[in-house]
Chains A and B, each alone.
Chain A
Amino acid sequence: MYKARHAWGFLAIPLILLSLFTFIPAVAAFVLSFTNYNVFTPIEFLGLENYIKAFQDKSFQKAIVNTFYYWILVTPALVVLPIFVAILVNQKLRGIKVFRLIYYFPVLVSVVITAILWKWMFAKEGIVNYILSFFGVEPFGWLLDTATVMPALAFVTIWQGFGYYMLFYLAALQGVPKDLYEAAELDGANFWKKHLHITIPMIKPMIFFVAVISTMGAFKEFTLMLTMTDGGPLNASTTVVLLVFQEAFQNLDMGYASAISFILFAVILIITLINQRLLDKRD
């Protein structure tokens, strides 16, 4: 009943737009990375020059270290903490749905507003320092110190993201048969034993999935840094993509920025492939 011209009729506009804003840019990003494109001077091919420059560039090295540091701070927390939260909100308690909605809400808040709220929270005379003062910590400017800026940004990411992963785990938990827990309780298993021996093995695929998703998210993050610290102080919070953004749109060195973003893409691709390997092994 359908003819080929029907299919192409529907696909025409979508394919034009996809070509312009997805297919061609993907190829163009790769091509640009071998050029000196900077908007003003004529385009010239440089071969591997941009890539060589990247690996000698101190600020790129720093950005890589920063990105890995941010990833180590964020991903383990976002993999583990939401499991506990999901177990917590998976109980039949009065008002539990309201708690789920509250925890999820920060996911919907624009990065600009998140940045505003948390700049004030982390201010020298802000709430974070007030709470820490009970533990005898002297107040200081979290976002103004090269040693504390990344942990502070990581905390904001965890604050904003734990409700998102909580939902994923919640879906996984609802697939765990209840009689497993009942049997364990009869055997006298406590909270930790029950979840260590039943929950964790049962939701393992989801734990894996969350680890991958949050890893990708961590490697790509830059709008939080752009809005909260602009990469400062002293580039201590400049991530790889923030460097791409700065090189491309502030220094207009788009060829070099493309090379950096392709190195990042290679890293993300490797992570995806390792992930697929591990998943295949499981099956």
Chain B
Amino acid sequence: MSHSIAANPSKDGNKRRKVFNKLISYFFLLLLTCVTIVPFLWTVSISLKGQNDVIFSIPPQFIPNTFTLDNFITVWNTLPIPRYLLNTVILTFFGVVLPLILCSFAAYPLARMKFKGMNIIFLLIIATMMIPGEVTMIPVYLVIDKLGLMGTYTGIIITSAITPLGIFLMRQGFQEIPKEIEESAVIDGANVWQIFWKLMFPMVKPMLGVLAILCFISSWNNFLWPLLILDDPNMYPITLGLYQLQGAFSANTRLIAAGALIALLPVIIVFVMFQRYFIEAAYSSSVKG
């Protein structure tokens, strides 16, 4: 009897505490959300402002007096934004497809075969993972120059066509496949090339997805190598285009805001579509540490 009397108030207290916890949690969740998205929202606001709206003021004007899509139309028509986007798509396509194939080529024998020199090659790859790209930036630039690839897309694509991290990830993927699978294929008379393409490559799809996401992020956002390699503005990807625009048109904040949002949109779409893989890719990229 006394048990039930004692239990009730504590249950009540528990419930109250849970509600309180929930409120506190949501308060912080929303606060962090504001900090995260305010820069984006403000950019949206600027991009929708007409010529008569003030951009910078204290207090700021968040809601434009005159909503207009003119900035987007102007940016699209007068600046080479469609061209930049197309360039970025081309660079990103090769920046994703080439590493998927080439890293798999390198990882497959390292994971499934035994041959002389294998350990040395694997050690070399692991060792170079420790050297930051910032250290080798100058010689890589000189190699591209010596190969006559200055001003070309090949020069940009080739620097990231194969990465030690990509080989490392794909090697892990290939190692997980059971041994019997290849053996049965050999009995069926398949050669090594066929075993790779028809059997092994499709089986590492999850890891390919992870690598594809990592390559997409770095290719779409690549800014340094296009800056160093390209000189023809018609070949600029959107990041480099925006970088130059904000220098040239620094007065025209509205247009730059519109351009930045156009550049962001594909990233948002891909992120929402493949959110699971993005999270997985973030975890996987942490293994290199």
Residues of A within 8 A of B (CB): 1-2, 4, 6-11, 13-15, 17-18, 20-26, 28-29, 32, 85, 88-89, 91, 93, 96, 99-113, 116-118, 120-121, 123-127, 129-130, 133, 139, 159, 163-164, 167-168, 171, 209, 212-213, 216, 220, 222-223, 227, 241, 244-245, 248-249, 254, 257-258, 261-262, 264-265, 268-269, 272
Contacts and interface: CB of A to CB of B under 8 A. Distances in A.
Interface of A is mostly: helix
B106 interface: yes
A164 B140 CA distance: 29
Given A110-B221, A110-B239, A133-B58, A21 B158 contact: yes
B36 interface: yes
B134 A244 contact: yes
B60 A17 contact: no
Q: Which 7 A-B pairs have the closest CB atoms?
A: A25-B139, A14-B106, A28-B139, A7-B109, A110-B221, A125-B56, A25-B136
Residue among B135, B224, B263, B283 with max Cβ neighbours from chain A (10 Å): B135
Given A14-B106, A17-B162, A111-B221, A99 B33 contact: yes
Interface stretch (B1-9, B40-48, B66-74, B202-210): B40-48
Contacts of A163: 36
Given A18-B162, A25-B139, A129-B58, 17 more contacts: A2-B114, A13-B105, A17-B158, A21-B136, A21-B159, A29-B138, A112-B223, A112-B239, A116-B242, A121-B42, A126-B60, A167-B283, A216-B132, A220-B132, A222-B134, A248-B141, A257-B138
Interface string B90-127: 00000000000011011011001111101001001100
Interface of B: 22, 25-26, 28-29, 32-33, 35-40, 42-43, 46, 56-60, 102-103, 105-106, 108-109, 112-116, 118, 121, 124-125, 128, 130-132, 134-143, 147, 158-159, 161-162, 164, 167, 182-183, 186, 192, 196, 217, 220-221, 223-224, 228, 239-240, 242-243, 246, 253, 256-257, 260, 263-264, 267-268, 271, 275, 278-279, 282-283, 286, 289
Contacts, number: 235
B242 A113 contact: yes
B271 A105 contact: yes
17 contacts: A18-B164, A21-B162, A22-B164, A25-B140, A26-B128, A101-B271, A108-B267, A110-B239, A116-B246, A117-B39, A125-B60, A127-B39, A130-B60, A159-B35, A168-B286, A216-B132, A245-B137
B137 A244 contact: yes
A120 B46 CA distance: 10
Contacts of B275: 101
B106 A4 contact: no
B134 A25 contact: no
Contact of A7 (B57, B113, B136): B113
Residue among B40, B128, B137, B192 with max Cβ neighbours from chain A (10 Å): B137
A130 B59 contact: yes
Contacts of B121: 11, 15
Contacts of A264: 134-135
Contacts of A29: 135-136, 138-139
B143 A21 contact: yes
B162 A26 contact: no
Nearest to B128: A22
A85 B57 CA distance: 32
A23 B109 contact: no
Residue among B39, B263, B289 with max Cβ neighbours from chain A (10 Å): B39
Contact of A112 (B186, B243, B257): B243
A223 B224 contact: yes
